[in-house]
Structure 1
Amino acid sequence: VLPELARIGYKEIEFAGYTQNTSILGRQITLQEIRTLLDDNGLTAVGSHVGIGNFRSNLQGELDAAQILGMPHVGTANAPTNVNTVAGYRAAADEFNVWGAAATARGLKLYQHNHAGEFAFATDQPSVRLYDVFLKNTDPRHVYLELDIYWAYVGQYRWPGFDPAAYVRNQPYRYPLFHMKDGDANSANANGFDIVEFGAGDLPYEKFVRDIGPRASHVGIWEQDTAPNTQPNPPGSLGAAERSFTALKGLLG
């Protein structure tokens, strides 16, 4: 997979676990073997999605893994908490501040990746958006955000009243990573959009890129939850990866 992604033109990889099917090797791949595969194919690991429980139980081990793989960021795609109150999100922010300070001490940046639910309103204060509580109460020196642009627009669809690009424009240095995932408008979908190949959807990516402003550097990472079922299938995920790369290159140059 990694040589094929490199052939397509991808330069960075974000992990969501470090395991593989063991039917061929008969054992699990090691972190050092993954690093060698990256290096041999001219790829750089830029981040990883780690279960939030791993940070609670094995923080230093996860930071060790990030350093072995040579990546500058390590994060979670879990919501900060399932307690959707202002106090719940403040408590979660305190927890992230501790983890983030530990990451900073190791030369790493800790990040949280959003889905739609973070843009909902607090159950105890219906005028307060949960994402705003988390952003306000996390230390910008130690806690960063990976904006999943698709899920941000789903959040806007379900809980209107914010502009996804404005979050980045207002605090550009807190958003080192983006998930560049496209969505096709569909009013029959409760989320307002179906996930599709990049470039095949309706999300306003050209406007988003323009509206976030010129400050800071952001790494755009292609993601497509539905990629394995992409038609024609075969080629499935790799076909979607190649077509999406072409569309991303057209957008970003």
Structure 2
Amino acid sequence: MSRIPRTSVDPELTHKLSRRAMLGVAAGATAAGILAAAAPAASAAGPASSAADPVTRGKGHGRAVLPPGRLGIQLYSLRDKVATLGFDTVFAELRKYGYDEVEFAGYTQGSAGAITLPELRNLTRDHGLRAIGSHVGYYSSDPNAYTFAQNLTRVLDDAQALGLPHIGTASGPWRYGSTVDGWKRCAEEFNRYGAEAKKRGMKFYQHNHAEEFSFATDRPDVRLYDVLLAETDPELVHLELDIYWAYVAQFRFSRRVDGTPAPFDPLDYVLRQPHRYPLFHVKDGEHDDSVRDGYRMSDVGDGDIDYQRFISAVSRTRHGRHAHHWQAEHDNPVESFAFARKSSAHLHSLREKDC
């Protein structure tokens, strides 16, 4: 497992990096060392029971890799069903497939008719699901847009009405460009959103795509994601790692602009500070060197990303097996219900190798 390479950063950034201890648990600590020192947390609910879980019965011999009660789905993957069949039908199907949680990507249901936030909250609960988070835009040129920058109070009011423990954005910190100072300005705004969310008992989070791992245009030795981590308060700004896009970034941004190597393993980021990553997007892809991203997106279980290794490693950190939430996602599935069903079956079937 490769370590995140050190980059030459300005003194202010280095000071904040050291002060907040965001990019490393200790000098020289490797991900393997973190794993070796971390004992698996005992589950309050106990190991998943194969008798109680028909999806996993008879598959594998060890403890389930996926912590019980922690499988969710990003509803963006099912936006076609939500817009035509409505949340009620979609939630019924998801519960049937073994999902525990949902992450919203909007609160309307198209031709299925109007629905209020209290109705949506009750509907989620009535189907035995937990609403774990929601994606909202970061900013817009429209002063009345429904974004954090334009309508922070309304965004938080709605999240609170739905009982969400997390509220975040899938927008990257590009508002002021791709320079170190531009990302510092965005980090200041993210800190403010996080502070306001915390006052209401929620956690603010940012969901990555591949480009967050690219390099600053004014400092080609500095990875922008490192700026985001160093400049945001770990108590106020959390991360939702989209694992697929992080592996795409590993393929695309393994070298700096000058061609010097800059390899990284997405898992290392999480193992260095697991408390900052309450949420994950479990999205799969087939490796293909002939395409720009290095992967072609696929249903979970049909690709090459080793989720058995990834989820197991995160679950073994000192932060605990039940501290994280795993949301299945596909940006454009061929058939969204089939994707949801297949992804749940695959993730529930994974078993730890060493038990």
TM range (shorter): over 0.9
Within 5 Å, which residues of 2 pair with 1:16-55? 16-22=105-111, 24-25=112-113, 28-53=114-139, 54-55=147-148
Query: Which residue of structure 1 lines up, in the alignment, with residue 280 of structure 2?
Result: 178
> Aligned pair 1:221/2:327, yes or no?
yes
Picking from 223, 228, 234, the partner of 1:129 is 223
> Aligned pair 1:238/2:337, yes or no?
yes
Matched letter for residue 99 of structure 2: Y
SS at match of 2:168: strand
Change (3 A) 1:252 1:178: farther
Q: 2: distance between equivalents of 1:211 and 1:249?
A: 16
Tell me, which stretches of 5 or more residues in structure 1 are unaligned? 230-235
> Aligned pair 1:249/2:348, yes or no?
yes
Matched letter for residue 250 of structure 1: S
Q: Relative contact order: is structure 1 or structure 2 higher (C-alpha 8 Å, sep ≥ 6)?
A: 2
> Aligned pair 1:143/2:237, yes or no?
yes
Q: 1: distance between equivalents of 2:199 and 2:161?
A: 16
CA RMSD of aligned residues (A): 1.3
Structure 1 residue 4: Cα displacement: 0.7
Query: Which residue of structure 2 lines up, in the alignment, with residue 93 of structure 1?
Result: 187
Q: 2: distance between equivalents of 1:214 and 1:123?
A: 35
Q: 2: distance between equivalents of 1:35 and 1:45?
A: 8
Query: Which residue of structure 1 lines up, in the alignment, with residue 15 of structure 2?
Result: none
Could you tell me whether the CA contact under 8 Å between 1:166 and 1:211 is conserved in 2?
Answer: no
Change (3 A) 1:136 1:13: same
Within 5 Å, which residues of 2 pair with 1:49-64? 49-53=135-139, 54-64=147-157
Structure 1 residue 61: Cα displacement: 1.2
Structure 1 residue 252: Cα displacement: 6.5
Q: 1: distance between equivalents of 2:115 and 2:343?
A: 28
Matched letter for residue 190 of structure 1: R
Per-residue CA distance 1:13-71 (angstroms, 9 max, x = gap):
0011111113x43xx22111111110110111000000112111111111111111111
List structure 1 segments (4+ residues) > 6 angstroms apart after TM superposition.
Answer: none
Q: 2: distance between equivalents of 1:137 and 1:252?
A: 38
Q: 2: distance between equivalents of 1:210 and 1:120?
A: 27
Per-residue CA distance 1:130-173 (angstroms, 9 max, x = gap):
00000000001110000000000000000111110111111110
Query: Which residue of structure 2 lines up, in the alignment, with residue 232 of structure 1?
Result: none
> Aligned pair 1:202/2:295, yes or no?
no
Matched letter for residue 200 of structure 1: D
Q: 2: distance between equivalents of 1:241 and 1:154?
A: 22
Q: 1: distance between equivalents of 2:304 and 2:318?
A: 26
Structure 1 residue 195: Cα displacement: 0.8
Picking from 232, 255, 269, the partner of 1:167 is 269
In the superposition, the TM-score normalised over structure 2's length comes to: 0.67
Structure having the higher helix fraction is: 1
Q: 1: distance between equivalents of 2:348 and 2:312?
A: 16
Matched letter for residue 120 of structure 1: S
Q: 1: distance between equivalents of 2:234 and 2:216?
A: 22
